[in-house]
Chain A
Amino acid sequence: MAEAKSSKKTVYAMLVLAFLAIISLLYYISAPAYLYIVAYLWFGFLYGVLQQYGRFCFASAWRDLIMIKVPRMFVGIMIGMMVFSVIAVFIFTYYPDRYHTTPLGLHGLIGGLLFGMGMVFAGGCATGSLYKTGEGNMISLTVLLSLAFSQAIFAVTIFDRIFDKFIAGLPSFSVTEILFGGSEGGHVDYAQYSFWQHFVGDALLNAILVAMILLVAVYIIVVRKGFLQRRVQAAAANADGGTPKTGFMDDLAGFWSMIASSKRTAIAAILIGVVAATQVFTLGWMAKKYDFVNFGNVLVGNTKSGGEPPATWPDKTYPDDVAMRSGDTVFDPGYWYITTQEAMFAGWTMKAAGLSRETMEDNHYFGDYNGLPRPWHSPALLLSFGLILGASFKSLLAREFKWKFPSRELFVYAVIGGTLMGVGARIALGCNIGAFYAPAAFGDPSGWVFFVGMGVGAYLSAKIVNWWANRKMADMDFDIDIEI
C-alpha cells in the first residue's frame, strides 16, 4: 500500500517535469528569444529543489535561534552566503554591470524590522513561502498573496512619497569602493577594480569577516554552554574522580559541531550559490546573444545594437507590458530575486480587474523600470513559478508533499505576516534575498543593515507568538501529575 502510494507520488513528480518541459517547448516554438525567460523558469526549478532539500528559509534562521535555540539555519545560511560572496567576485570580474548597490540608510533597518516581524508570523520568509507552497502548503500561498497585494497597494499609494523624502538622496556604495576609491562623481564602473580588489573588499571584509564574527557570537551566546556541559558530563562519566576542565580545544570542537549539525542547509546553500552564479552568467550570455539589455526590449522590439529585431524575437510587440515611464523595460534582475515579481503579479491583476495603466504605473516602483507585464512575460515571475514546481517535484519524490489548508488562526497569522513582509520589503527596497543575501555577498554593507532589522523584528514577533502559544497551552489538559 505504502509502496503504491510512493510510486504514485513519483509519477506526479515526473508529471511536474513533463509540464515544465512542455511549457518550455511552447515558449521556444513561439519565439526562440523566449528561451531567456525559460531559463528563469528552470533556474527557479533548481532553487526550489535545493531549498526544499535544505529547508532553506530565513524566517527559520532568526526565529529558531531565538525561540528554540536551534542555530542550524542561521549557520547554514551564513556558510552559503560566504561561498556566494566568493562566487560574486567572479561575477563582478566578468559581468561588472550585473549588480548595483542599494542606498544605505534607516529605511533598511525599518523595512528589515517589519519584514522580520512578518516572516515569523507568516512561518516563512518570502522565498521560504514559495518553496513551502510547492510542498502543498496553502498557508504559505496565503502568505504569498498577502505579500504580493500589500506591496502593490503600498507601491501605488504612499511609497513614492517615502522614497522621495527619505531614500532618494541616500548614498550607496560597496566596501571595495570605500577601500580603493574610484566612485568620485557618482557613477561607479566596477570593471575598474581587479579580481583581488573585489575579493578583499567585497568577499573577505563585507561577507566573510562579518559572517564569521556572527557565527562566533552565535556559538558563544547560544551553543557554548550546553555543549561544554554535555562534554564535561561525558568526560566525568569516563574519568575517575575530579572535575574535568574545558579549554580552547573543546570550544573549537563545539564550534565545529555547530557547523556540522547544519550540514544539510549548508550543502543546499552552497549549491544555491553555484546555481545563482550560473544564472547570472547564463542570462548575461543569453541577453548578449539575443541582442538586448533588458527583456522588456524584446517585448517592444528595441534591439541593443539598434538594428531590426532578429528572426528569433517574437513577431508581435507588447507596448503595454513594459514600464510606462521607461518605455522598454520590465523587471529583469538577472539574478535570484523574490518579492518584486509577486508585487507585479498583484499589480497586473489589479490592472486586469479594471484599474487604469496610469493609476497603476504612474509611480517609481512600477512605472520607472519594472512595468506590469502579463505574468507569462514576466521573467522573474517565471522564476517564482519554477521555484514552486521545483519544490513540488522534490517533496513528491521525498514523500513530503501534503496539501495543507489554513485554519482560522493560521490564516490570520499568514495575512498579517505576509502584509508586514510586503510593506517591509518595499520600504527596504527588497526582501531577505534582494535586500540581504545578495547585497551582503556583493560587498554592499546595506545588506547587513537589513539583516539587523530582520533580527530585531523576528525577536519582537517571537515574543508575541510565544505569548500566544503559552495562552493556548494553558487551556490544554495535560493530565500529568507534576512533582514540585
Chain B
Amino acid sequence: MKFSKIDDNNFELDVTGYVCPHPQLYTLKSMEKLKDGMVLSVLIDNPSSVESVEQACSEKGFTILDKSSPKSGVTAVKIQK
C-alpha cells in the first residue's frame, strides 16, 4: 500500500494486492484526511472493493470524477471530496 502526493490537490493511493475489506477501508480513511475539493486517485485490483468504494462515496457525498482501467485487472477510481 502506498499513499503519495502528486501535487497540492491531487493524491494517489495504491492498494493493489489487497483484498476485502482493506481497499475500501484505506480509501475512506484516506478521504477523511483530505480537505474539500481535493482529489484522490485509488488503484484497486480487487473487483468487489471497487463497487463498495463507489457506493460508500455516494453515501458520503464524494464525487467520482473518473473510473478507468489502466491495466488488465486494475481499476483506477478518481474521487473528489
Contacts and interface: CB of A to CB of B under 8 A. Distances in A.
Interface of A: 2, 5-6, 9, 52, 55, 57, 59-60, 63-64, 67-70, 72, 120, 123-124, 132, 135-137, 139-140, 223, 226, 230, 261, 264, 395, 398-402, 404, 407, 410, 462, 465-466, 469-470, 472-473, 476-480, 482-483
Given A136-B73, A407-B17, 19 more contacts: A2-B72, A6-B72, A52-B47, A63-B20, A68-B52, A72-B52, A135-B47, A261-B58, A400-B47, A402-B45, A404-B19, A404-B46, A465-B21, A469-B22, A469-B26, A473-B29, A478-B5, A480-B35, A482-B33
14 contacts: A64-B52, A67-B25, A70-B59, A120-B21, A132-B19, A223-B59, A261-B55, A407-B17, A410-B18, A462-B21, A469-B22, A473-B29, A480-B11, A480-B33
B21 A63 contact: yes
B62 to A, nearest CB: 12
Contacts of B30: 473, 478
B28 interface: yes
Contacts of B5: 478-480
Interface residues on B, range: 35 or more
A459 to B, nearest CB: 13
Given A67-B25, A123-B21, A60 B48 contact: yes
Contacts, number: 112
Interface of B: 1, 3, 5, 11, 17-22, 24-26, 28-30, 33-35, 38, 45-48, 51-52, 55-56, 58-61, 69, 72-74
Residue in A5, A123, A132 with the greatest tally of chain B CB atoms within 10 Å: A123
A52 B61 CA distance: 28
A241 B11 CA distance: 38
A279 B58 CA distance: 38
Given A137-B19, A402-B72, A478-B3, A469 B25 contact: yes
B74 A402 contact: yes
Contacts of A68: 21, 24-25, 28, 52, 56
Closest 10 interchain pairs by CB? A402-B73, A55-B48, A123-B19, A123-B20, A400-B47, A68-B56, A70-B55, A70-B56, A402-B45, A139-B19
A124 B48 CA distance: 11
Contact of B25 (A136, A410, A466): A466
B56 A69 contact: yes
Contacts of A139: 19
A399 B34 contact: no
A466 B25 CA distance: 8
Contacts of A465: 21, 25
Nearest to A407: B17
Contacts of B72: 2, 5-6, 9, 399, 401-402
B59 A226 contact: yes
B45 A473 contact: no
Contacts of B58: 261
B56 A59 contact: no
B61 A230 contact: yes
Contacts of A136: 73
Contacts of B69: 399
B74 to A, nearest CB: 7
Nearest to B58: A261
B45 A404 contact: yes
A190 B51 CA distance: 42
A469 to B, nearest CB: 5
Contacts of A70: 24, 52, 55-56, 59
A141 B56 CA distance: 28
A137 B25 CA distance: 19
Contacts of B34: 480
Contact of A64 (B21, B26, B29, B61): B21
A59 B52 contact: no
Nearest to A261: B55
